[in-house]
Structure 1
Amino acid sequence: MSYAETLEQVGRRASEAKQLAVHVSRGLNDLRRGKKSGLSGRDRFVRHAVLRALATGRHGVSYEDVWRERYRERAATGPATMTAPTWAAELAAVDVGEYLAEGRTPLALSRLAALGRTISLAGISTLRIPYRPPLDTGGGWVAEGSPIPVDSLDFGEVVLSPRKAATISIFSAELKKRATPDIEMLVDSALRTDIAAIVDAALVDDQPASALRPAGLRYNVTPVTASTATDPLAAMRSDLSRLAGEIVAGGGTSPVYLVNPTQMTSFAFLPSFAYPVIDTPAIDPGTVVAVDGPAFIAGNGAAVVDASKDAILHEDTAPAPIVSGTPATASPTRSLWQTDTLAVRVILETSWGIPAGRVAWMEAVKW
């Protein structure tokens, strides 16, 4: 690569970064004014990944160039810019929360977060959110001339620290030969499936928090005994009532039930059920988790989407560093260039938390 070509690439990237900054600034102003236009969060996220993938390996071609090739309108119009809605403005990987909440299989985390509180993790290392413990109330009825009770105002706290969920999905080079809608469908399905497998599985399990991940909702929570009634409908009513009672006793107000899709069908026999129900395959059949929805706190951080056709990958669920020498540390490895394949990488920052006593669960239900 010549010196002139290098300067040209640096100049192009600097220009794209400047235009992207302008777009982000205008987008923030629109949000402050309550405006929102253009594509949905799902479409923006997937389209950004597609453009990254299609531009990979094409010398001198940016993903903005691919945008013009693939998505521009055929009618007479102005040139694409990073600030024009539905044009290159949609290249930014924004609205990650919307992406996870939309589509045929929205994440359980995003659906639960919609019923609670969502905060930004941008620039945050550790965030402490106070809450009132259950039954810690003060005040009361006071007779004329009598002193008013004094509340000590003791608080508990939920601690959120950003954690990184990441996935790499591999596609054959045939991906580039498909029509644009097919590419978007494939990328959307692959990324959503991979991310859901990581995030939702951790959300509903019983593992403690670590430097890698947040604590699962069932961590340090003793399961409630399921009903032994032989009538499935009677057992279901008893189980749901017991779980709700645990949430209320812990200071909660509005339970949300998380179940496996096999249990979800049973709710059709409870007409006008008063509380939200979220189904996810991340929960084992027969297990039901109840969460105080308004008390649940979710954190959204940065998102990065990259693509490559030249990297070397260790294809393993617990990958090791790739080094040269004998013996090799990582095996088996894949050369994307040698196998004519493409890898799309997504990195998300997220976290969640809930006050103590606001989660209850049971297993081996009879319905």
Structure 2
Amino acid sequence: MTVTRRAYSYLHIKAVNEEKRIIRGVATTPAVDRVGDVVEPMGVKFQNPMPFLWQHDAGKPIGTVKFDSPTEDGITFEAELPVIEEAGTLKDRVDEAWQSIKLGLVRAVSIGFRAIEYAFIEGTNGIRFVESEVYELSAVTIPAQPEAVMTSIKNMDAAGVALIKSFDPNAPAATGTIERPTKTPPGASGKSHKPVNLRPKEGNDMKTLAEQITALEAKRAANMARMEEIQAKASEEGRTKDDSEKEEFGTLADECDTIDDELKDLRRMERAKAQEAKPVNKAPVAPASDATARTAVTVKAPKPEAGIEFARLAKVKALAFLSQGEYRQTDIAKRLYGENSAVYGIVSKANVVAGADISGNWAEDLVGDETSVYADFVEFLRPMTIVGKFGTNSIPSLRRVPFRTPLIGQTGGGQAYWVGEGKPKPLTAFDFSRTTLDELKVATISVVTEELLRKSSPSADMILRDALAAAVAERIDTDFIDPAKSASAGVSPASITNGVTPVTSSGNDADAIREDVRALMATFVAANNPPTSGVWIMASATALALSLMVNPLGQAEFGGISMNGGTFMGLPVIVSEYFAPVSAGGYVALVNASDIYFADEGGVMIDVSREASLQMLDNPTNDTVTPTATSMVSMWQTNSVAFRAERILNWAKRRASAVAVLDEVNWGLPAASV
């Protein structure tokens, strides 16, 4: 946990030189300030130069400051206030600050910092900040630590004016938020707990976990009863607790906290031992008369990662097929994953004999629980694709529509006319579009060896799952966003960027990026697209380049974005590995999610074969219409198994203007490397 704080110190002006505005002093000392806190100087981290602010206002910089090396006595600093020649808000603010400091009206400085390691000071509400990171120094009115003083003040020359101006626009600083933890952190920097004695007076040792838990619960109940008694006595007498009562009450409360922590550990150990326990005698045992009844603990096996059950089901069916009837699917599922596994429950319920014809859609044979296995794989696949990320994590959803249903949209409105007396009324026409999304199929074939299939390790299951998912995800992403992807009638849809006239990027630095965004937004809004449903789609390399850009203060230029997505200019970002790389001049798309029709069957079809011969290419040339000579690889000859995965889906733009595209994007790259 981190705590954002401020620490104050007095300013004592001992010398003024109007030629240079330079302030020297002490930023922090190891003394306790008036808030009760201590900032250890040797644990302070910083990076020079830092902004010198007015009253901790991030929008009001008045100069720059450099810290000297920390010593055990404190950290000295040198702050510079520029001499501004041009009239304006900045000159007025800096001059006001200088006059206020010089005349002693502002007598304190304050560091804005983030706590990295800290501990509470015993007997007080103060905090000892063992390690911290300073962001800025401010001139403030309210003092708190008298030992940190200013030793001299003089004017600086105009050389620092340009640097201070770089801190002026949107310069962040410490927020000043004080958030004290409600519970002391454990460890060397935290508050230690006094152990609670639970041994009975007779001297009997408690050896079992149950005995220790029972004793702790009894001790806690006794403490709570005594605390209620103390509080009730004070309430009946119409007063607050006196010092002795407070001390006893606090001691009892601390013991209760210690007992609660100990109970958590003991119950965790009890659950672990319950997992390791083995039955010794099946005969029922009558409970002892003085035994304490305890609640039974049900331990469930951890749920596998998303998509693993689907891969296991595919493996079981493939191995049963390979055995040529020697083993049933239930036998293989039981041997690999046990009778309590979801896969065993599915194949035993389906009751499909191994070696039967399974070249059809496996989902047709699955009822009830098995559908959840396919849904689990689809959920695993969804965050891997662009279309799957819509509608998640505050990203607007695509417009979901059914297959083979006419979708009528109005592309142009009619007009009304003023008509004079006795004049004919003119006619008007409305423009409509009709769209129907047919069931189109995206398919992939993944080849694995029989040796891999026969391995029962979790890593083998993951390899099979990832091989099936990655191939499907790559094709969906590429065809959804690639501007060069046109429609193929009855086979595949056009990408949402196909046919869109792009806007050319103006450059790579921060100002050029903002200019690109303005140009793209203008195109987007001019087409009556609501900005609230806008979504950025870009290559992960482009997002990474944006996240690495920093301003002159060393802070992120575009703080909301990372290589995994986030937000950019207030709109959500979807990234993909299958966009053109940024070094080649890639694309960035701004998409109106509500204007993209999307139809999805929601399932996955899987076929398996070991007799097939495959052309091991991602762009096969052979077909049944115009066969050509080519090199083929036999699954039987190479002891391999081919899995074919298919998804039924389709998409289309509701309006041609639903997408705006920026091309030749090299954001964040040096101009010389483009």
Q: Which residue of 1 aligns with 2:578?
A: 282
Q: Which residue of 2 aligns with 1:108?
A: 386
Q: Deviations over 1:284-328 (max 9, x none)?
A: 1231111112222221125310112222223332241489xxxx8
CA separation of 1:64 and 1:89: change in aligned 2, threshold 3 A: farther
Structure 2 residue 519 is matched with structure 1 residue 262: no
Q: Which residue of 1 aligns with 2:652?
A: 353
1:129-140 matches, within 5 Å, as 129-133=407-411, 136=413
The SS at the match of 2:657 is coil
Q: 2:640 aligns with which of 341, 344, 361?
A: 341
Q: Deviations over 1:318-357 (max 9, x none)?
A: 241489xxxx844211221111111111111111112221
What is the rounded CA distance, in whole Å, between the counterparts of 2:558 and 2:512 in structure 1? 12
Structure 2 residue 470 is matched with structure 1 residue 209: no
What is the rounded CA distance, in whole Å, between the counterparts of 2:440 and 2:571 in structure 1? 30
1:28-39 matches, within 5 Å, as none
Q: Which residue of 1 aligns with 2:611?
A: 310
What is the rounded CA distance, in whole Å, between the counterparts of 2:459 and 2:414 in structure 1? 57
CA offset at residue 112 of structure 1?
3.3
Query: Is residue 305–residue 345 contact of structure 1 (8 Å, CA) maintained in 2?
Result: yes
Q: Which residue of 2 aligns with 1:241?
A: 518
What is the rounded CA distance, in whole Å, between the counterparts of 1:120 and 1:92 in structure 2? 23
Q: Read off the aligned partner of 1:310 and give its amino acid letter.
A: E
Q: Which residue of 2 aligns with 1:300?
A: 600
Q: Read off the aligned partner of 2:622 and give its amino acid letter.
A: A
Q: By percentage of residues, which structure has more strand?
A: 2
CA offset at residue 190 of structure 1?
1.2
Greater mean deviation of Cα atoms: 158-167 or 214-223: 158-167
What is the rounded CA distance, in whole Å, between the counterparts of 2:401 and 2:309 in structure 1? 21
Q: Read off the aligned partner of 1:161 and give its amino acid letter.
A: D
CA offset at residue 90 of structure 1?
5.8
What is the rounded CA distance, in whole Å, between the counterparts of 1:297 and 1:82 in structure 2? 38
Structure 2 residue 374 is matched with structure 1 residue 93: yes
Structure 2 residue 334 is matched with structure 1 residue 68: yes
Q: Read off the aligned partner of 1:214 and give its amino acid letter.
A: P
Query: Is residue 131–residue 156 contact of structure 1 (8 Å, CA) maintained in 2?
Result: yes
Query: Is residue 542–residue 666 contact of structure 2 (8 Å, CA) maintained in 1?
Result: no
Structure 2 residue 506 is matched with structure 1 residue 227: yes
Q: 1:331 aligns with which of 623, 627, 630?
A: 630
Task: For CA contacts below 8 A with separation 6 or more, give which structure has more relative contact order.
Answer: 1
Q: CA RMSD in A?
A: 3.5
Q: 1:57 aligns with which of 319, 322, 330?
A: 322
CA offset at residue 248 of structure 1?
2.1
CA offset at residue 54 of structure 1?
2.9
What is the rounded CA distance, in whole Å, between the counterparts of 1:69 and 1:349 in structure 2? 34
In the comparison of the two structures, how many residue pairs are matched? 303
CA offset at residue 214 of structure 1?
0.3
What is the rounded CA distance, in whole Å, between the counterparts of 2:647 and 2:345 in structure 1? 32
Query: Is residue 319–residue 454 contact of structure 2 (8 Å, CA) maintained in 1?
Result: no
CA separation of 1:137 and 1:156: change in aligned 2, threshold 3 A: same
Q: Read off the aligned partner of 2:398 and give its amino acid letter.
A: G
Q: Read off the aligned partner of 1:258 and give its amino acid letter.
A: I
What is the rounded CA distance, in whole Å, between the counterparts of 2:480 and 2:648 in structure 1? 14
Q: Which residue of 2 aligns with 1:82?
A: 349
The SS at the match of 1:127 is coil
TM-score (norm 2): 0.40
Query: Is residue 382–residue 389 contact of structure 2 (8 Å, CA) maintained in 1?
Result: yes
CA offset at residue 97 of structure 1?
4.0
CA separation of 1:177 and 1:51: change in aligned 2, threshold 3 A: closer
CA separation of 1:54 and 1:237: change in aligned 2, threshold 3 A: farther
Query: Is residue 163–residue 350 contact of structure 1 (8 Å, CA) maintained in 2?
Result: yes
Query: Is residue 308–residue 377 contact of structure 2 (8 Å, CA) maintained in 1?
Result: no
Q: By percentage of residues, which structure has more helix?
A: 1
Q: Which residue of 2 aligns with 1:6?
A: none
Q: Unpaired segments of 5 or more residues in structure 1?
A: 1-37, 140-150
CA separation of 1:233 and 1:51: change in aligned 2, threshold 3 A: farther
CA separation of 1:180 and 1:227: change in aligned 2, threshold 3 A: same
CA separation of 1:39 and 1:293: change in aligned 2, threshold 3 A: farther
CA offset at residue 169 of structure 1?
0.8
Q: Unpaired segments of 5 or more residues in structure 2?
A: 1-302, 351-367, 417-427, 548-556, 561-567, 668-674
Q: Read off the aligned partner of 2:407 and give its amino acid letter.
A: I
The SS at the match of 2:528 is coil
TM-score (norm 1): 0.71
Q: Which has the larger radius of gyration?
A: 2
CA separation of 1:321 and 1:363: change in aligned 2, threshold 3 A: closer
Greater mean deviation of Cα atoms: 346-355 or 154-163: 154-163
The SS at the match of 1:235 is helix
CA offset at residue 79 of structure 1?
6.8
Query: Is residue 82–residue 89 contact of structure 1 (8 Å, CA) maintained in 2?
Result: no
Q: Which residue of 1 aligns with 2:424?
A: none
CA offset at residue 252 of structure 1?
1.8
CA separation of 1:154 and 1:243: change in aligned 2, threshold 3 A: same
CA separation of 1:108 and 1:179: change in aligned 2, threshold 3 A: same
CA offset at residue 202 of structure 1?
0.9
CA separation of 1:191 and 1:79: change in aligned 2, threshold 3 A: closer
